[in-house]
Amino acid sequence: MTANELYVKGARIWISDPEAIWRGAELLEDYKGPGQIKVRYEDGEDSVLAIKDKNNLPHLRNPEILIGENDLTSLSYLNEPEVLYNLQVRFMDQNIIYTYCGIVLVAINPYADLPIYGNEIIQAYSGQDMGAMDPHIFAVAEEAYKKMSRFEQNQSIIVSGESGAGKTVSAKYAMRYFAMVGGSQAETQVEKRVLASNPIMEAIGNAKTTRNDNSSRFGKYIELSFNKKNEIIGAHMRTYLLEKSRVVYQASDERNYHIFYQMCASSDLPEFKKFQLMAAGDFFYTAHGGDPIINGVDDAEDLGDTRDALLLLGNYQNLGKSIDAIGYLSLKEAVYMDVCQSSH
């Protein structure tokens, strides 16, 4: 259809706005070419919109019946304001964080724990086609698992997004799904060992930023291995571009890596006595950002999870040197501070 046929009186449009980003409106007259056209916003405000040429026409809105669709490719008009509005309706009005865009799963981080990742949900998605169930990270994982087992071909899931989008959690839930559906009675310990890598990597490679309390400060590639029975038998992880500068410097309202705070919160443990640890707020390396505490997070409890994971993997003793290095870094700073104070 031509622009003159689409942009007629009553047509619903989106108009960019410096504050609201996009405002819904409708045309009060037919579009007849470059010039000015009268519009009325949803709140009743009348205005005049300047149209330079056809390339400058406002985005069209979808009919109400399509609002809230679980697949963005089902929309008649797929443009920026329609994508944002559809996601907003699903998240704000329907309390749904997942939406498809073809084979891509769009996820909105709710910054809250949701009861949609239990074993019963995993069982519900197991064996189902991707389009037969509501959008979910488990549906994507099931699709990859099914294609791997049916066609015996390697599969990849790319988890991308800006800081705070929820990449770490999404990858964690995908791994949990594979561990559950690809498990066996004889190898239950293998699945536990695969999942045990999460608290370890988060302790050493994650930190609080202004946008995310548990931000991964490195990239990672996780490879899961399955046998001919499609049972998970192991995993391998490669890491990239660790933010090393965070060890000695953090921006305002940010923290160093979690492991430092976990150790300081557990300074009474026998293996940490030799480090003479103090509260995290007493060290420059852990207090530089001015916000060493994360609301709702128990660093001592998290260290327990880290230790349990290391013990399960059989790496607690092997990682002892790394833990010692972290501890002695804090001890060295404590001695340096003491010497400086004595010199004044």
Tell me what pLDDT residue 336 has: 44
Is 174 within the bounds of a domain?
A: no
Is 291 within the bounds of a domain?
A: yes
163 assigned ligand-binding residue: yes
Q: Across residues 171-189, what is the average pLDDT?
A: 78
- Report whether pLDDT(329) > 80: no
**HEC letters along 24-44:** EEEECCCCCCCEEEEEEECCC
152 assigned ligand-binding residue: no
Which of 26, 46, 24, 49 minimizes the C-alpha distance to 36?
A: 49
- Report whether pLDDT(79) > 60: yes
Contacts of 307 (CB under 8 A, 6+ apart): 316
How many distinct structural domains can be found in the chain? 2
Q: Tell me how far the alpha carbon of residue 290 is from its chain's centroid.
A: 25
127 assigned ligand-binding residue: no
Contacts of 77 (CB under 8 A, 6+ apart): 59, 60, 61, 62
The domain in which residue 35 lies consists of 3-61
Is 304 within the bounds of a domain?
A: yes
Domain end among 45, 61, 77: 61
Domain end among 38, 61, 84: 61
Which of 264, 184, 170, 175 minimizes the C-alpha distance to 231?
A: 184
Is 93 within the bounds of a domain?
A: no
* 163 and 131 Cβ atoms separated by less than 8 Å: no
CATH number of the domain within which 50 lies? 2.30.30
Domain end among 61, 81, 106: 61
pTM of the model: 0.83
Which region among 191-195, 215-219, 278-282, 314-318 has the lowest average model confidence (pLDDT)? Answer: 314-318
**Mean pLDDT across the chain, nearest whole number?**
88
Is 168 within the bounds of a domain?
A: no
Is 296 within the bounds of a domain?
A: yes
162 assigned ligand-binding residue: yes
Distance CA 97, CA 127 (A): 22
Tell me what pLDDT residue 255 has: 96
161 assigned ligand-binding residue: yes
Share of the chain above pLDDT 70, in %: 90
Is 300 within the bounds of a domain?
A: yes
165 assigned ligand-binding residue: yes
Is 312 within the bounds of a domain?
A: yes
Q: Across residues 58-63, what is the average pLDDT?
A: 96
